[in-house]
Amino acid sequence: MKKLFIETLGCAMNVRDSEHMIAELNRKEPYELTTELSQADLIIINTCSVREKPVAKLFSEIGVFNKFKKPSAKIGVTGCTASHLGKEIIKRAPSVDFVLGARNVSKITQVIEEKHAVEVDTDFDESTYNFGDYRTNPFKAMVNISIGCDKSCTFCIVPATRGDEISIPSELLIQEITKAVKTGAKEVMLLGQNVNNYGRRFGSTDENCNFTQLLQKISLIEGLERIRFASPHPLHMDDAFIEEFAKNPKICKQIHVPLQSGSTKLLKEMKRGYSKENFINRCEKIRSLCPEATISTDIIVGFPGESDEDFDHTLEVLEIIRFEQLFSFKYSPRPHTEAAEFDKQIDNTLSGARLTRLQTRHTEILDEIMDAQLDKIHTVYFDELKSNGRVSGRSSDGKLVFVEGSEELLGQILDVKIIKTSRGALDGVLV
């Protein structure tokens, strides 16, 4: 059997794209996944281009792969960097056999047949393509509900790499999720760049369904116990959506609300469409209707023109909302973005110092949140067997929980009492 080595960088959409590529390849001929590069017949690097560093790493990585791979092995570069650099990749690294963009995943079986194939069309509509089945974790399914992004955040390269937003018809989504449930998935993660903008545009149908209505439809699927989604946009968090989030028992009580900056002035320059006050108001609405919800966020520091005062606004939002999880980044100027041309780019040392301050304060908050979990009861969906006689799963609000146990716990949703806490995970006993 042929062996496939696949490296996946970036976000959950990329993880799903990798699953789709594995499924499509297997439709044609069976591939066994390997983590041993030297044994692979096909090597895929599924790239992210949201920040500069991973893009710079790509070419040195291709050099290393060339040294250790079998001479007959093919190398493909896929994903967002493939979309934005296209045939430039083969010019700079002629050992690359094919380049496949983030919007062209369904063509994987074609491009592996053709020397130096480049398929990076960002207008290509894969929204109704019937991908083969493959799940990294048999207990959980990931499902794309939309592709592309219609926003124009001035820092972000994604609209250029993933194209215009197209929603996938709800009927196809229901079919896909029902099939996943029948094969053992009790949880689904709905994916899209802005999930709560669902229904803005469909490819070939003229369906009328927004995200809240989609959640209602999906929660009717029998046997489906848990629904998660990533990522919603603060601008589209209307009251009806927050009410549905709070009252629908199948929706897990964890929500990602990407802030980016706490400064209304910078939010305007980022073209985010909300102010500091709007953002706080939406999070407080979530907390008032659903006190048990955990809120996570993304923050960029060092966006062009960020003053000490702007950064203080960001710290203030952190104090008010006390995000459970924080994904924080130094601003990285990207091609095809407006902000890359802005004056007043921020010095790297200053951005670094701000990032450290933000992360240090967040760590203190996180420690307090996790310490407070002692003796609490969480409902955990067990989905992973560890090597040391332990099983892990996630609570509804997204915490990683370990208990002692074996295979029989996998696929079960059980109450756990927390007996030990740490920053990254909780230990518990079944109750």
Please give the residue ranges that form the binding site for ligand 5AD (CB under 6 A).
50-51, 155-156, 258, 260, 298, 300, 329, 331-332, 334
- Closest approach of ligand SF4 to the CB of residue 157, in Å: 6
Name the closest residue to ligand SF4 (Cβ).
Answer: 10
Distance of CA 305 to the CA centre of its chain: 28
User: How does DSSP assign 32-44, residue by residue?
Assistant: EE-S-GGG-SEEE
**Is the CB of 163 or the CB of 393 nearer to ligand SF4?**
163
- What are the backbone dihedrals phi and psi of residue 6, each rounded to the nearest 5 degrees, phi first? -130, 125
| CA dist 133 → 141, 197, 315 (Å) | 10, 26, 43
State which residue, 164 or 427, has the beta carbon closest to ligand SF4.
Answer: 164
Q: Which residue is nearest to ligand 5AD (CB)?
A: 298
x-marked contacts with ligand SF4 along 20-49 as a string, rule CB under 6 A: ----------------------------xx
The interface partner of residue 162, options being ligand SF4, ligand 5AD, none and the CB cut-off 5 to 8 Å by kind, is ligand SF4
Q: Are 211 and 198 in contact (CB under 8 A)?
A: yes
Which of ligand SF4, ligand 5AD, none interacts with 332 (beta carbon under 5 to 8 A by kind)? ligand 5AD
231: preceding bond cis by omega (within 30 degrees): yes
Whole-angstrom distance, CA of residue 77 vs CA of residue 96? 7
Of the candidates 147, 151, 226, 228, the one whose C-alpha atom is nearest the C-alpha of residue 192 is 147
Residue 51 beta carbon to ligand 5AD: minimum distance, rounded to whole angstroms: 5
Can you tell me which residue has the tokens 């439809």? Answer: 217
Q: Which residue has the tokens 């699953």?
A: 19
Please tell me the total number of residues recorded for the chain in this structure. Answer: 431
| Complex with ligand 5AD: residue 334 or 399, whichever CB lies closer | 334
Phi and psi torsions of 33, nearest 5°: -75, 140
CA distance 18 to 38: 20
- The span from the CA of 396 to the CA of 413, in Å, is 10
Site residues for ligand SF4, window 2-21 (CB under 6 A)? 10-11, 13-14
Which of the choices ligand SF4, ligand 5AD, none does residue 267 contact, using the CB cut-off of 5 to 8 A by kind? none
- Per-residue contact flags (x/-) with ligand SF4 for residues 140 to 179, judged by CB under 6 A: -----------------xx--xx-----------------
Residues that bind ligand SF4 (CB under 6 A): 10-11, 13-14, 48-50, 79-80, 102, 157-158, 161-162
